[in-house]
Amino acid sequence: MCGIVGYIGTKKASPILINGLLRLEYRGYDSAGISTIENNGLSIMKDKGRVKNLYNLPGIDNLKGTIGIAHTRWATHGKPSKENSHPHMDNSKLFSVVHNGIIENYNELRKFLSEKGYTFYSQTDTEIVPNLIHYYYEKINGTDINKLLKAVKSACLDLKGSFALEIICKDFPDNMVVVRKDSPLVIGKGEDENYISSDIPAILSFTREFYLLEDLEFVLLSRTDAKFYDKDLNPIDKKVQTIEWNASSAEKDGFEDYMLKEIYEQPTAIRETIGAKISEDSKCEFEELNFTKEYLQSINKIYLVACGTAMHAGLAAKNMLEKICKIPTEVDIASEFRYRDPIIDEKTLCIFISQSGETADTIAALKLSRQKGAKTLAISNVIGSSITREANYSIYTHAGPEIAVASTKAYTSQVMLLAILTIYFAEILEISKEKITNLKKDILELPSKIEETLKCSCTIKEFGHRIYQEKDVFFLGRGIDETVARESALKLKEISYIHADSYPAGELKHGPIALIENNITVVSIMTDEKLVEKTVSNIQEVITRGAKTLVVTNQPVDDKMFDTVIHIPKTNTFISPILSVIPLQLLSYYISKEKGLDVDKPRNLAKSVTVE
């Protein structure tokens, strides 16, 4: 969803701000804008539509300010429009603000401010923020920077909901104030300059030194310094952290789209996620975890909680945790988790999966689990993200920045990390020794097998060309293959806008077969030798009714029976989703390209969903 960029330094701010917004386009947005402090006061340039539209705004080339804030908006309150786009000013044009998140009590605050004589020109919840800051600013005596800090603090304590804020003030042309609560914000440290963003990749080309903010930490920025304060404005010490991502990994590197680049980065992402955790000759180790045999034996249930693609990674992990570790495991959709009053106590381990680490529903579910006494473990791709700071324990995939909205390498890295976590648990419990010995061997061979699987690209592209105009596609699988069917159907929906459904293959006769008619496409995944015979029988039923079929398999099948068969390398069934999903990621990609769609930024979707 919405993206934030800020700059304070010695260079001209506007090109840096627009460049940062361009790097945040993967988040999804409907408008964009920047605000800078110029010699004659605050300037705001904004418009509906793409970031590139800013280049056409009259006067934007004349901006000389070296301090500024910027924003891409994804509409929550008010339709997409120039008036509703950020930044927003107060009535006196003293403050300019950009905001990520949702102010839940904005109606109440808007009414309060209206009664105090403030006028509103947009439908947004954000416009109350600069006016509320102005309201408190006028009530505070003094002329120094503390007046600004106190006003911002008072306003923020009135806000209910989530927010990441950048505030600039005409009275203080050499400073900026930023604060966050339940919405991501990082500060990049440079030489006589500071960068601010909601996402690290947006400013990674400028610095690798970052400050990671906690909730209700206020930061006073100058060109040469960053001063941190708690919610009572007491000074606090904040350590800078070094981010090891390569800036080039946030670029396309010659690929036509980020999604295709990220599909082909999966061998590297899996190698990095495996790291030194797995060896055939030694036990799996997680330095971040200190689980004991006694604790794992005391667990009565594991919850895997996530949204969307991350939830599908959880479904693959359920199969591993139950069959290898013998621990009852449930997979829950994070947005439903809190509202069904889950049975959680101190004997429950709750694992939360989020690529960004900022998914609002998942963070809320995590907080509930801690309140109920469960141990919590976060799995994220972003060091220092909100979910990792809330959890008792955190472990990381090492997929690098994922820019395309539709997740590919983050998903397979999540499945990989969950497989390694399963081995870690089993070795502590001293069970399933033969299973984990075989699984370790197959994990170490997996990156090269992914490289082999990617060679199916031409065949998949051809099949995509045949079916790209279809309105419905069905995905079938049994056992762990059904989890891949779900993820593959989601990918196709996300970026091609084709209606796609997935079903356990055995459920065909219980309703879905009524939808099968001549020339409809059915995709089947078959990687479990114990289930292939049954799945083939199900596919024969749809062939009889005239369906076109695509089969992804690493088992011996009669290729002549199906329209197209993609053979992938054999591997352990537990990690087969990492291989079998790749041809279907490519299928979604090529179908979207055939339709002339924006692969990296599908309509109505955002990379990081930071509101519920």
Q: Would you call 440 a catalytic residue per the annotation?
A: no
pLDDT at residue 362, as a whole number: 92
Cα gap 588→212, rounded to integer Å: 36
pLDDT at residue 485, as a whole number: 97
One of 2, 169, 284, 325 is an active-site residue; which one?
2
CB-based contact 106:114 (threshold 8 Å): no
CB-based contact 173:347 (threshold 8 Å): no
Give the chain's domains with CATH numbers.
3-249 (3.60.20.10), 257-431 (3.40.50.10490), 456-594 (3.40.50.10490)
pLDDT at residue 496, as a whole number: 97
pLDDT at residue 349, as a whole number: 98
Which DSSP string do the residues of 267-330 spell out, in sequence order? HHHHHHHHTTT-BTTB----TT----HHHHHH--EEEEEE-HHHHHHHHHHHHHHHHHH---EE
pLDDT at residue 408, as a whole number: 97
pLDDT at residue 609, as a whole number: 61
Q: Which residues of the chain fall below pLDDT 70?
A: 1, 26-28, 245-251, 253, 606-612
pLDDT at residue 418, as a whole number: 98
Cα gap 286→45, rounded to integer Å: 48
Cα gap 172→193, rounded to integer Å: 16
In tens, the pLDDT along 314-373 reads: 999 999 999 999 999 999 999 999 898 899 999 999 999 998 888 889 999 999 999 999
pLDDT at residue 416, as a whole number: 97
pLDDT at residue 248, as a whole number: 59
CB-based contact 535:481 (threshold 8 Å): yes
pLDDT at residue 28, as a whole number: 62
Please enumerate in sequence order all residues whose Cβ is within 8 A of that of 168, keeping only pairs 6 or more positions apart, or say none. 35, 37, 42, 67, 68, 69, 95, 96, 175, 176
Q: Would you call 607 a catalytic residue per the annotation?
A: yes
pLDDT at residue 246, as a whole number: 65
pLDDT at residue 610, as a whole number: 55
According to DSSP, the β-strands at 499-504 and 521-526 are: unpaired
How many CA atoms are closer than 13 Å to the CA of 218, on its beta-carbon side? 23
Beta bridge partners of 241: 210
In tens, the pLDDT along 497-528 reads: 999 999 999 888 898 888 888 989 999 999 99
Per-residue b/e over 416-444, b at no fewer than 16 CB within 10 Å? bbbbbbbbbbbbbbeebeebbeebbebbe
pLDDT at residue 250, as a whole number: 58
One of 150, 153, 449, 607 is an active-site residue; which one?
607
pLDDT at residue 608, as a whole number: 59
Beta bridge partners of 101: 163
pLDDT at residue 611, as a whole number: 54
Report the length, in residues, of the chain.
612
Dihedral over alpha carbons 582, 585, 587, 589 (to 10 degrees): -140
